């Protein structure tokens, strides 16, 4: 049995053989003859290591320690669940404030995506805009070229080789009008309209329409094919440059998207459970989930707390050994959350900025109502000269 001492003015500590045993397993911080422990470490030792905590002659239970520290740290149990799960995997996890004393030189992961500049010839034909359906119709042979070359709109019926009229969604009409000079006529008035007026109409009916269009344009102008992500619970699905709506030669199969894009304006906050659900749907259909946070500036960033520095395993010869301080640097900055919490675009961007400064990749540890943990790793995407921040979010199994 491991014995820990508690004093409300001093904290939690172990001594002698108990301190040696815990220190060898990367618990606590040694100061003089005492090994000082954090509350989540003490809770873990009580819960899963047959530990006992003594306050004078009294023995304190798990709940007693929660009461002693929860008023100072309202998220204690959320953090404990994340700590417990990582430790249960045989891995080391330390508080961030303990780790930062050493610093790090590891660069966080940034992925570079390819580009192919979009070049479209202006047509003299008119796009007919129907504001009620938020759709446009392009009744001209040039529409077939737009569809074949850039997969703009839909000819006839989706995945069916019939029909010859190009139907365009709101984003596509905006792009052709604003960036390529196509003339748009309002079906209700029979008069020419502008991309600005169209945006005003849509913005009255759809929240964050402008932010969504800006992200759409951001990817489209770099040659990506951007279509609706409705079936996958996201805003868009993404095809890399040169994808075609036509059937592939050979096996006759359709091209399938491998990425979905969800826009997360900095003003918006979502339940973590809702946000995670969209990520899991994407992974369930073998797609990479991309999160777009528009136009974050330095003044937007906040000192949003991260909780732990987390270590993994490395291969030495034929064996896998766990990494541990002080010899190894942690791989991840771990932020613990529960499914009942809210998180916003600014908070995520701030956490990612912090992880980059500290030289770690960011992972979110999400506790559900049954204390099961799901991990998501976030990697930044680099689109040249973009005003948006984009991040790949991947399910992670430590």
Supply 72's token pair: 């100072």
Tens-digit pLDDT profile for residues 193-240: 999 999 999 999 888 899 999 999 999 999 999 999 998 888 999 998
Mean pLDDT of the chain: 88
Q: How far apart are CA 313 and CA 384, in angstroms?
A: 34
- Closest residue by Cα to residue 388 from 203, 229, 262: 262
* Ranges in the chain, pLDDT < 70: 98-109, 159-162, 246-254
Q: How far apart are CA 353 and CA 71, in angstroms?
A: 29
Give me the pLDDT at residue 66, please.
96
Residue 258 has φ and ψ, to the nearest 5°, of -115, 0
Q: How far apart are CA 49 and CA 61, in angstroms?
A: 13
Q: How far apart are CA 207 and CA 284, in angstroms?
A: 27
Give me the pLDDT at residue 247, please.
55
Q: How far is CA 202 from CA 135, 257, 382, in A?
A: 11, 26, 29
Q: How far apart are CA 22 and CA 278, in angstroms?
A: 40
The helix/strand/coil state of 219 is helix
Give me the pLDDT at residue 302, please.
85
Q: How far apart are CA 381 and CA 110, in angstroms?
A: 6
Beta-bridge mates of residue 238:
226, 259
| Residue at token pair 């906050």 | 269
Let me know: does 40 contact 7? Beta carbons within 8 Å: no
**Domains of the chain by range and CATH?**
2-73 (3.40.1170.20), 75-114+222-398 (3.40.1350.10), 118-206 (3.40.1170.20)
Q: How far apart are CA 210 and CA 74, in angstroms?
A: 37
Supply 240's token pair: 């890399």
Q: How far apart are CA 226 and CA 217, in angstroms?
A: 9
- Closest residue by Cα to residue 201 from 246, 135, 106: 135
Q: How far apart are CA 381 and CA 391, in angstroms?
A: 5
Tens-digit pLDDT profile for residues 154-173: 987 776 666 778 999 999 99
């Amino acid at each position: 049995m491991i014995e820990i001492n508690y004093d409300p003015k001093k904290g939690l500590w172990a001594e002698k053989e108990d301190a040696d045993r815990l220190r060898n397993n990367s618990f606590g911080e040694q100061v003089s003859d005492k090994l000082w422990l954090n509350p989540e470490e003490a809770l873990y030792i009580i819960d899963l290591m047959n530990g006992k905590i003594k306050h004078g002659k009294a023995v304190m239970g798990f709940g007693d320690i929660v009461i002693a520290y929860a008023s100072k740290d309202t998220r204690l149990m959320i953090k404990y669940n994340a700590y417990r799960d990582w430790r249960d995997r045989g891995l080391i996890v330390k508080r961030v404030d303990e780790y930062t004393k050493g610093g790090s030189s590891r660069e966080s992961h940034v992925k570079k995506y390819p580009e192919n500049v979009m070049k479209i010839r202006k047509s003299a034909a008119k796009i007919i805009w129907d504001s009620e359906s938020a759709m446009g119709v392009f009744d001209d042979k040039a529409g077939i070229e737009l569809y074949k070359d850039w997969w703009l709109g839909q000819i006839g019926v989706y995945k069916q080789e019939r029909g010859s009229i190009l139907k365009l969604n709101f984003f596509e009409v905006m792009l052709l009008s604003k960036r390529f000079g196509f003339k748009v006529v309002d079906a209700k008035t029979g008069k020419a309209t502008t991309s600005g007026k169209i945006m005003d109409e849509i913005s009255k009916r759809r929240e964050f329409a402008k932010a969504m269009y800006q992200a759409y344009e951001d990817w489209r102008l770099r040659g990506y094919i951007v279509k609706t992500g409705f079936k996958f619970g996201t805003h868009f699905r993404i095809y890399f440059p040169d994808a075609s709506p036509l059937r592939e030669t050979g096996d006759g199969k359709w091209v399938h998207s491998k990425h979905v894009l969800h826009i997360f304006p900095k003003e918006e906050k979502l339940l973590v459970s809702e946000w995670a659900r969209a990520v899991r749907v994407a992974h369930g259909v073998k797609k990479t989930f991309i999160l777009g946070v528009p136009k974050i500036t330095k003044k937007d960033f906040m000192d949003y707390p991260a909780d732990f520095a987390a270590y993994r395993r490395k291969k030495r010869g034929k064996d896998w050994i766990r990494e541990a301080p002080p010899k190894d640097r942690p791989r991840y900055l771990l932020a613990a959350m529960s499914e009942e919490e809210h998180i916003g675009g600014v908070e995520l961007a701030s956490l990612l900025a912090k992880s980059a400064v500290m030289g770690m990749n960011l992972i979110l540890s999400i506790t559900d109502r049954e204390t099961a943990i799901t991990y998501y790793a976030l990697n930044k995407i680099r689109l040249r000269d973009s005003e948006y921040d984009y991040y790949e979010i991947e399910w992670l199994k430590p």
